[in-house]
Amino acid sequence: MIPAEFRYLCPSTVDEAVRMLVEEGEDAKVIAGGQSLVPVLRMRLAAPTALIDIGGLTELTGVRDDGDSLLIGAMTTHYEVQRDHLIHDHALLLKLVTDTVADPQVRHRGTFGGSLCHADPAGDLLAPALALDAVMIIAGPGGRREVPASEFFVGYFETALAPDEILIDVRVPKYTGWGAHYEKLNRVAQAWSIVAVAAAVQISGGTIAAARVGLTNVGSGPVRAVDVESALVGQPVSAISDAALLASSGDGYKDNLARVLTDRALTAAVAG
């Protein structure tokens, strides 16, 4: 199907993009890589009156070192995330998760920020963003504000972004030296997750010093397995299987999957 008619606008700065969103009203939409939005437009599930294309905003691309954390530009593509050495060294989980997203064609166009803003519960980047305590840096008519991932994902395809706001950067604390793994159950290679588990673990002196665990597609948004995380702290690696039993989705079938996949994800994460 052909999308409904819309105005197409290309800002050259973030501030101009925000001004356009304000002027065009709440039926305008930002378009980033278009990998989720274009199918939605073609199926006429949405008919925005204007598309503000932020693809030309080079200030939103790339990964920067910011002391204790990384700043990942919202327009950084999945392909760039996979290959970035800062992400490899300090947020390995994000690289491993991104390796499983779609196919090379989609990864060249789709963006890190677009995935988070789209907030598809089956989207792979939401659970690691939550588990790694990422913070969203947002530009709007009132200036900049920061929203932790725990408050950003508010429901099914829904975030804390207002219609006139743009996600510009994502701050991710450094997890240097942590082991990581993403255990994704999907029907066929390159398909979306049925359930998946993102795990990062810090080992010190043979015991688990800290753990981060996020669950994909077990509810209307990502879920952090806090009970699993706290059960692991100070424990030997042999505690993983018992701790994984605490993973829960509130649904029988997915509960089982969550537990099995949490066990596998943590076991693989500690193995490096």
Ligand X SMILES: Cc1cc2nc3c(=O)[nH]c(=O)nc-3n(C[C@H](O)[C@H](O)[C@H](O)COP(=O)(O)OP(=O)(O)OC[C@H]3O[C@@H](n4cnc5c(N)ncnc54)[C@H](O)[C@@H]3O)c2cc1C
Per CB under 6 A, residues contacting ligand X are 29-37, 54, 74, 101-102, 106, 110-111, 113-115, 117-118, 123-125, 161, 166-167, 192
CB closer to ligand X, 98 vs 262: 98
Least separation in angstroms between CB 232 and ligand X: 26
Least separation in angstroms between CB 212 and ligand X: 18
CB closer to ligand X, 33 vs 179: 33
Retrieve residue 52's tokens: 């503000």
Least separation in angstroms between CB 161 and ligand X: 6
Retrieve residue 83's tokens: 């290959």
Least separation in angstroms between CB 109 and ligand X: 6
User: d(Cα 181, Cα 100) in Å, to the nearest integer?
Assistant: 11
CB closer to ligand X, 91 vs 166: 166
SS3 216: strand
CB closer to ligand X, 92 vs 101: 101
E-assigned strand segments in the chain: 7-9, 28-31, 50-53, 63-66, 69-73, 135-140, 143-148, 153-155, 158-159, 166-173, 179-185, 195-204, 207-216, 223-224
Least separation in angstroms between CB 30 and ligand X: 4
Least separation in angstroms between CB 22 and ligand X: 14
CB closer to ligand X, 35 vs 262: 35
CB closer to ligand X, 152 vs 246: 152
Least separation in angstroms between CB 167 and ligand X: 4
CB closer to ligand X, 152 vs 192: 192
Nearest residue to ligand X by CB is: 110
User: d(Cα 119, Cα 161) in Å, to the nearest integer?
Assistant: 11
SS3 203: strand
**Strands 7-9 and 50-53, sheet pairing:** parallel
Beta-bridge partner residues of 212 = 200
CA angle 96, 97, 103 (to 5 degrees): 100
What are residue 38's phi and psi, to 5 degrees? -60, -45
What are the DSSP calls for 47-96, one per residue?
--SEEEEGGG-GGG-SEEEETTEEEEETT-BHHHHHH-HHHHHH-HHHHH
User: d(Cα 83, Cα 115) in Å, to the nearest integer?
Assistant: 18
